[in-house]
């Protein structure tokens, strides 16, 4: 079923897609951008490949045993960055599967993961659906998707407008392109594409040619909001009123410095909590951190800021999750 909500803001013109009115704008100069690119590409190893605290990533045997221990319960497993394995109403869903070592067009060149996935890609259960928020390399991981397609060729693949061709080339057959506000329903699971404040590109020449989004994933038992990759914007207040409340809000807390450059595309931890509140999420879960260095903040700074902001916003410790990579929790 495709059902478009005409009340959502316009987001396309002759040049391509754009963010909702009122979204923040980057304020940096060309010199600021050149300095940023130098730092993330050639900066100290402690920035690009930081020391990983003990326990941040579960070993695979522990992760698999923990996942199996929940049986048929609804569960959430974090595989790093924005990748979650969600069990909901007996269906298995994967979000933004960045699961290979590099986030770059050429493996071996570009940003490299400093933390593993907890569960190797070939040990993941068979999937009923994959949700992909946009086409950046740390979300649309072609290496991982080719591996996943071998066992999951017929799973439902839900993407924003313009991404069906690349997903088809990677070996998937059942692809559903959605505009903001459009819905795909299948076997009791409903997926709705929601606005996000971001951009798209895989080359220097295709900026904003395809759409970006978050998702509402709903069943008879759960309502999950997956923010995708996003900055804060007032659009979330309107979208939260229209599509909320949610039992769970998966919100991005990392990749936010230098703030003048990143505020237009990535929320900081405090803004992530604000998104969760605006979307009327009963519980918030931190994502998009602790996996790969894309920006210049200390790699393990975001969780403390997120936890403090969540407490200030009225979330108890049980309702603001910072998970280990590979960890599974019951919903």
Task: Give residue 42's pLDDT.
Answer: 86
Is residue 301 a contact partner of residue 262, using CB atoms and an 8 Å limit? no
Contacts of 33 (CB under 8 A, 6+ apart): 261
Q: For residues 239 and 204, is the Cβ–Cβ distance under 8 A?
A: no
Residue 3 falls inside a structural domain: no
Number of domains in the chain: 1
pLDDT digits (tens, 9 = 90+) for 210-238: 999 999 999 999 999 999 999 999 999 99
Residue 26 maps to a domain: no
| 318 within some domain | yes
Say how far apart CA 60 and CA 43 lie, in whole Å.
31
Lowest mean pLDDT among 11-15, 188-192, 242-246, 312-316: 11-15
- pLDDT tens profile 53-81: 999 999 999 999 999 999 999 999 999 99
Is 62 part of a structural domain of the chain?
A: yes
DSSP assignment of 175-214 equals: EEEE-TT-EEEETTEEEEEE--S----SSTT-TTSS---E
Domain that holds residue 88: 47-330
CATH of residue 303's domain is 3.60.15.10
Average per-residue pLDDT for the chain: 95
pLDDT value, residue 259: 97
Strands 214-218 and 189-194: antiparallel
Each residue's pLDDT tens digit, 96-130:
999 999 999 887 788 999 999 999 999 999 999 99
What would the pLDDT profile of 158-180 be if each residue is shown by its tens digit? 999 999 999 999 999 999 999 99
Please indicate, yes or no, if residue 13 is contained in any of the structural domains: no
Give CA–CA dist 218/245, Å, rounded: 11
Of residues 101 and 41, the one with the higher pLDDT is: 101
Q: Are 225 and 216 in contact (CB under 8 A)?
A: yes
**Packed helices 269-278 and 302-312: angle between N→C axes, nearest 10 degrees:** 40
Confirm if 231 and 24 have CB atoms less than 8 A apart: yes
Q: What is the pLDDT of residue 196?
A: 98
Q: Would you give the DSSP letter of residue 10?
A: P
Q: Is there a domain that residue 37 lies in?
A: no
Could you tell me which of 294, 278, 287 has the C-alpha nearest to residue 323? 287
Kindly state the percentage of the chain with pLDDT values over 90.
89
Q: Would you call the peptide bond into 245 cis, given omega within 30 degrees of 0 as the criterion? A: yes
| pTM of full prediction above 0.85 | yes
The pLDDT tens digits of the residues spanning 1-37 come to: 345 565 666 798 878 999 999 999 989 899 999 999 9
Residue 323 located in a structural domain? yes
- β-pair partners for 329: 76
d(CA 277, CA 241): 11
Residue 74 lies in a domain: yes
What is the token pair recorded at 313? 């916003």
**Residues whose CB is less than 8 angstroms from the CB of residue 92 and which lie 6 or more positions away in sequence, other chains included:** 85, 86, 125, 126, 127, 128, 129
**Long-range interactions of 243-247: CB distance < 8 A, separation 24+:** 243/192, 243/194, 243/216, 243/279, 244/279, 244/280, 244/281, 245/279, 245/280, 245/281, 245/282, 246/216, 246/279, 246/280, 246/281, 246/282, 247/222, 247/223, 247/281, 247/282, 247/283, 247/331
The predicted pLDDT at position 2 comes to 43
% the chain with pLDDT above 70:
97
CB-based contact 218:247 (threshold 8 Å): no
């Amino acid at each position: 079923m495709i059902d478009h909500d005409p009340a959502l803001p316009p987001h396309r013109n002759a040049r391509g897609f754009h963010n909702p009115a009122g979204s923040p704008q980057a304020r940096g100069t060309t010199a600021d951008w050149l300095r940023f690119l130098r730092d993330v590409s050639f900066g100290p190893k402690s920035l690009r490949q930081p020391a990983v605290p003990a326990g941040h990533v579960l070993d695979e045997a522990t992760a698999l045993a923990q996942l199996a221990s929940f049986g048929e319960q609804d569960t959430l497993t974090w595989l790093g960055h924005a990748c979650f394995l969600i069990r909901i109403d007996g269906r298995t869903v994967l979000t933004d599967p960045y699961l290979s070592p590099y986030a770059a067009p050429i493996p071996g060149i570009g940003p490299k993961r400093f933390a593993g996935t907890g569960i190797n890609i070939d040990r993941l259960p068979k999937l009923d659906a994959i949700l992909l928020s946009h086409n950046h390399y740390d979300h649309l991981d072609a290496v991982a998707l080719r591996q996943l397609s071998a066992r999951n060729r017929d799973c439902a693949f839900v993407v924003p407008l313009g991404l069906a061709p690349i997903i088809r080339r990677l070996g998937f057959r059942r692809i559903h392109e959605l505009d903001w506000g459009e819905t795909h329903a299948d076997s009791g699971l409903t997926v709705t594409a929601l606005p996000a404040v971001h951009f798209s590109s895989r080359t220097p020449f295709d900026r904003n040619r395809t759409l970006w989004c978050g998702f509402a994933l709903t069943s008879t038992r759960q309502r999950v909001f997956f923010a995708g990759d996003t900055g804060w914007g007032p659009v979330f207040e309107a979208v939260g009123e229209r599509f909320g409340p949610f039992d769970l809000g998966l919100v991005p807390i990392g990749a936010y410095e230098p703030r003048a450059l990143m505020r237009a595309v990535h929320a900081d931890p405090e803004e992530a909590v604000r998104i969760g509140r605006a979307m009327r999420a009963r519980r918030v879960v931190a994502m998009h951190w602790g996996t790969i260095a894309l920006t210049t903040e200390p790699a393990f700074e975001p969780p403390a800021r997120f936890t403090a902001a969540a407490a200030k916003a009225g979330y108890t410790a049980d309702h603001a999750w910072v998970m280990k990579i590979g960890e599974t929790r019951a919903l």
